[in-house]
Structure 1
Amino acid sequence: MAPMGIRLSPLGVAVFCLLGLGVLYHLYAGVLSSRLAAFRQQRGVDLRDLLALSVEAAVQGGKEVKRVREENVLEEQSKGKTKEGANEFLTLGDLSSHKKMFYLIKNTYPDLKVNSEEHDSSVGDTQVWSRDIPSEILEKIGGGKEVPPESVTVWIDPLDATQEYTENLLQYVTTMVCVAVDGKPVIGVIHKPFTEYTAWAFVGKGSNVSPRASYSANPHRVIVSRSHAGKVKSFVQDAFGNNTTIIPAGGAGYKVLSLVEPPPGESKSADQADVYIHVTYIKKWDICAGAALLAALGGQMTTLQGEDIDYSGTEANKGGLVASIGVDHKALLEKLPNWDPDKH
Structure 2
Amino acid sequence: MLETFEQAALEAGKAILRVYRSDCAVSLKQDLSPVTIADERAEQIILAHLSKEFPDIPVIAEESVSAGHVPDVRGKSFFLVDPLDGTREFVEHRDEFTVNIAYIKDGIPVTGIVYAPAIGVAFVADDRKAERLVVGKDFEITERLPIRVRERPENLLALASRCNGNARTDDFLAENAVSACTSIGSSLKFCLLAEGKADVYPRFSRTMEWDTAAGDAVLRAAGGTTVMTDGQPLRYGKTDQSHDADFANPSFICWGGKSAAVA
TM-score, normalization by structure 2? 0.81
Q: Deviations over 1:42-74 (max 9, x none)?
A: xxxxxxxx21111111111111111111122x2
2:29 maps to: 79
Q: Is residue 181 from structure 1 mapped to residue 105 from structure 2 by the alignment?
A: yes
Q: Is residue 330 from structure 1 mapped to residue 253 from structure 2 by the alignment?
A: no
Q: Is residue 94 from structure 1 mapped to residue 39 from structure 2 by the alignment?
A: yes
Q: Is residue 285 from structure 1 mapped to residue 199 from structure 2 by the alignment?
A: no
1:321 maps to: 252
1:68 maps to: 19
The CA deviation at 1:107 is 2.9
User: How do 1:253-272 residues align onto structure 2 when only pairs under 5 Å count?
Assistant: 253-261=187-195, 272=197
Matched-pair contact (CA < 8 Å) for 1:116–1:156: yes
SS at match of 2:38: helix
Structure whose residues are more often helix by fraction: 1
Matched-pair contact (CA < 8 Å) for 1:221–1:275: yes
* Distance in 2 separating the partners of 1:207 and 1:296: 5
SS at match of 2:7: helix
1:247 maps to: 182
The CA deviation at 1:232 is 4.1
Matched-pair contact (CA < 8 Å) for 1:180–1:186: yes
The CA deviation at 1:121 is 10
* Distance in 2 separating the partners of 1:254 and 1:75: 25
Gaps of 5+ in 1: 1-49, 82-86, 123-149, 263-271, 337-344
Q: Give the AA of the match of 2:22.
A: E
2:231 maps to: 306
1:47 maps to: none
Q: Give the AA of the match of 2:182.
A: I
The CA deviation at 1:282 is 0.8
C-alpha change, 1:284 and 1:318, in structure 2 (3 Å) is closer
C-alpha change, 1:308 and 1:159, in structure 2 (3 Å) is same
Matched-pair contact (CA < 8 Å) for 1:155–1:177: yes
Matched-pair contact (CA < 8 Å) for 1:99–1:120: no
SS at match of 2:193: coil
TM-score, normalization by structure 1? 0.63
1:226 maps to: 162
Q: Percent identity between the aligned chains?
A: 23
1:210 maps to: 147
Matched-pair contact (CA < 8 Å) for 1:203–1:292: no
Matched-pair contact (CA < 8 Å) for 1:226–1:249: yes
Q: Deviations over 1:248-304 (max 9, x none)?
A: 2111x2101211338xxxxxxxxx421111001110111111221122122111112
Matched-pair contact (CA < 8 Å) for 2:225–2:233: no
* Distance in 1 separating the partners of 2:25 and 2:41: 11
User: Which is higher, the Rg of structure 1 or of structure 2?
Assistant: 1
The CA deviation at 1:215 is 4.7
1:31 maps to: none
Q: Give the AA of the match of 2:16.
A: V
Matched-pair contact (CA < 8 Å) for 1:152–1:180: yes
Structure whose residues are more often strand by fraction: 2
* Distance in 2 separating the partners of 1:228 and 1:160: 14
The CA deviation at 1:180 is 0.8
* Distance in 2 separating the partners of 1:53 and 1:306: 33
